[in-house]
Amino acid sequence: DVKVTQSSRYLVKRTGEKVFLECVQDMDHENMFWYRQDPGLGLRLIYFSYDVKMKEKGDIPEGYSVSREKKERFSLILESASTNQTSMYLCASSFPGASGSPVYNEQFFGPGTRLTVL
């Protein structure tokens, strides 16, 4: 069974703080993803990584950075948290699709971290 775990289910931070969200997967997946989910907006891709130390911007990378030093771990960093980053953050992982592209395969999601920035 694939397991994707996220370091916290709930997190409360103050404006301006540096925030780290950690994600670990145990299935040796090459690809890892960070999304945020907001009411009425669905899931939006922030960043993804197709290999260690590799990263690609998603649709909404502004205000975020990522780190992937080990294959199983993908971190999302909010350098200076702002109230508009209050959201549910979801991590996912997957094998590459047949073409090798990171987006052509089912993704396995973690349970999410609900971040509140005050």
- DSSP string computed for 86-108: -EEEEEEEE---TTS-TTSS--E
CB of 97 to another protein, least distance (A): 7
Contact call for residue 26 and another protein (CB under 8 A): no
Contact call for residue 42 and another protein (CB under 8 A): yes
Contact call for residue 51 and another protein (CB under 8 A): no
Contact call for residue 59 and another protein (CB under 8 A): yes
Contact call for residue 110 and another protein (CB under 8 A): yes
Residues contacting another protein: total by CB under 8 A: 24
Identified binder of another protein from the candidate list 11, 45, 60, 77, rule CB under 8 A:
45
Per CB under 8 A, residues contacting another protein are 4, 35, 40-45, 56, 59, 90, 92, 97, 101-104, 106-112
